[in-house]
Amino acid sequence: MAKLPQALLAAAGVGAVIGSFFSGSDFVSSLIIWVAINVLMTASFRFVLLIGELNFAMAGFVGIGAYAAGIATTLYDLPLALSLLAGAAAAGLISLVVGFVTLRAKGAYFLLISFAFTEVLRLIYSKVDAIGGNSGMVGIFPPAYLARFYPTIVVLVVLFFLFILYRLERSDFGKILVAIRNNDDLVQTVGIDVHLTKVWCLGIASFVTGICGALLAHANNVISPGDFSFLLAVYTLAYLKVGGESHILGAVLGAIVLTLLAQYALGFGAYEHIFYGAAIVIGVLLLPQGLFGLVQRMLPGRRRPEGSGS
Amino acid sequence: MEPEILLKVEGLTRHFGGLAAVSDLNFEVRRGEILGLIGPNGAGKSTTFNVISGFHKPTAGKVYFAGEDITGRNPARISRKGLVRTFQHGSLLREMTVYDNMLVATISLMRTRPERDRRVRETAEMLHLSDQLHELAGNLPHGLQRMVSIAIAFARRSRLLCLDEPLTGLNQIEVASALAIFRRIRDELGSTILLVEHNMKAVMEICDRIVVLDHGVFLAQGKPIEISQNEAVISAYLGKRK
């Protein structure tokens, strides 16, 4: 039943790995990295949407991951793997605390709190001189002997965590998350601590988000506070809406398609954001189930997946 | 040995602002019985359920379950003690399959998937839901949705089932089948049932005892036949004779 999406994902993954390995041009390598990171960010954003919350704090946690990894690499000369882990752990642990305090709020209230969190973090980065203040941190490079393989590493890490998120969603834990979105009071009556489950959900998603930030920092070599504003979450929302939120492959599709199309939007200069706004509007109006829904309808004889959409 | 009194409500009071939804309510549920909790609209039945199951903290009073004080505990902990409730409206997971609805109910109870799977299939069998296991709960007809709500609660095999208007909107045949299932749950598995219900015929038929509330105050209790002849109860429902 679920074999086709897995096969598609595997095929895309193999393609990306091969492509990233043999790509000669810097531009293509960078593009592969951006696409891969956006895919994972969208998947982690969607993971919190399983409990029904739009997590704009995601942009903040990308920033925490990026800065933590930047500090680990530039100040402490940690190996790449440990830097990535530092970014993930920092984002994950902080999110557990933030989630414990804020996840009593739901819907619009949580959205606003998570939005504020992201913006407050951005202001903090710009005021702290030890991490570069407004001008940001520079010199975050992967070690020289790995630089050649960095696109491949990014793709492999992204595929690994996509697989983890997919398995988690299919597990009984994932079913609890969807159940909470459906009816959180009912989930309490069957003996499940809804609040703690939501905190863990955010923690797992933010751990993955932290990895994204760490990968991004090592790809761009420079990070500055402006990279992690709420707009990052808005883009992610656009990827997800266009791709379709009923399946993790929707996140993958949306991020790939929009990231590639956005290369043209860069030419619009200051009007670039119109592109994302238009993408959300078009996605919501014309493709309520997103590109994934479209693909599904074109494949005959397949039922709608269980427990989909919100 | 289980205590003879499974649930004891003592001096229960709950205010919303200046309004007393329930005042100084006392009653008890004996092990193995089906107790009906009835009263006109606004009598405080749902508030009583909410306080017992931990969704509201009482303004005053105590709730004891199997001899243990559970007043003000959170709903998940109360559920794990063996007291499970349903909701009047939409007590199901609409976007999930009937199977997953029941599966979620067993997760905090059992460790492994095979155990959970067996429990889900047994429950479906008993509630005649085996053919609908892979339908989305929200797509089922109303009568079957009601059955899924009960199945979620029943999948836990809790000692006390608190059912909030489980028969609303069911036709006569569905009511009869639901009542038969309640009896089986009690007789074969020894569960105790606390039932809030507006369908008087069904309440009179199935309950061992009935507690009547009116405007948040205890009005009467007794066997169905006693309640149906009680002057105070009749005037609460129909208005006082002039």
Give residue A309's pLDDT.
Answer: 40
Task: Please give the Cα distance from A235 to A251 (Å, whole number).
Answer: 12
Whole-structure pTM value:
0.89
- What length does chain A have? 310
DSSP structural state of residue B53: T
* Residues A234-293 pLDDT 10s: 989 989 988 988 999 999 999 998 888 887 777 777 777 777 778 778 878 888 888 888
* Residues B142-166 pLDDT 10s: 889 999 999 999 999 999 999 999 9
Q: Measured between CB atoms, which of B80, B93, B95 is closest to A186? A: B93
Task: Please give the Cα distance from A246 to A248 (Å, whole number).
Answer: 7
- What's the Cα-to-Cα distance from B149 to each of B102, B184, B224, rounded to whole Å? 9, 17, 26
Mutation target among A170, A189, A303 for the B interface, most CBs of B within 10 A: A189
Q: Phi and psi at residue B180, in whole multiples of 5°? A: -60, -40
Element (H, E) at A160: helix A150-170
CA A40 vs. chain centroid, Å, equals: 4
What is the DSSP annotation of B170-227?
Answer: --HHHHHHHHHHHHHHHHHH--EEEEE-S-HHHHHHH-SEEEEEETTEEEEEE-HHHH
| Contact call for B92 and A186, based on CB within 8 A | yes
- Going through chain A in order, the beta strands assigned E by DSSP cover none
- Is the CB of residue A171 less than 8 Å away from at least one CB of chain B? no
Chain B interface residues (partner A, CB cutoff 8 A): 53, 55, 74-77, 79-80, 84-87, 90-97, 100, 103-109, 113, 116, 134, 136, 152-153, 156
What does the pLDDT profile of chain B (242 residues) look like in tens digits? 455 889 999 989 999 888 888 889 999 999 999 999 998 888 888 899 999 999 999 999 999 998 899 998 999 999 999 999 999 886 899 999 999 999 999 999 898 999 999 999 999 998 889 999 999 999 999 889 999 999 999 999 999 999 999 998 889 999 999 999 999 988 888 899 999 998 888 999 999 999 998 888 888 888 888 888 888 888 887 776 55
Return the number of CB contacts < 8 Å for A and B. 89
Q: Phi and psi at residue B144, in whole multiples of 5°? A: -70, -35
Q: Measured between CB atoms, which of A172, A190, A308 is closest to B152? A: A190
Q: Which residues on chain B are in Cβ contact (under 8 Å) with A175? A: 96, 100, 103-104, 107
Give residue A308's pLDDT.
Answer: 42
Task: Identify the closest residue of chain B to A195 by CA–CA distance.
Answer: B76
| Contact call for A185 and B100, based on CB within 8 A | no
* Residues A1-20 pLDDT 10s: 456 666 766 777 777 777 66
SS3 B15: strand
Q: Measured between CB atoms, which of A175, A182, A189 is closest to B79? A: A189
Sequence ranges of the domains in chain B: 1-82+158-242, 89-157
Q: Which residues on chain B are in Cβ contact (under 8 Å) with A310? A: 95
Please name the CATH architecture into which domain B1-82+158-242 falls: 3-Layer(aba) Sandwich (3.40)
CA dihedral B160, B104, A309, A293 (to 10 degrees): -140
CB of B160 closer than 8 Å to CB of B81: no
B1-34 exposure pattern, b = at least 16 Cβ within 10 A, e = fewer: eeeeebbbbbebbbeeeeebbbbebebbbebbbb
Q: Which has the closest alpha carbon to A11: A249, A280, A254?
A: A249
Place of tokens 């990070």: A223
| Contact call for B90 and A188, based on CB within 8 A | no
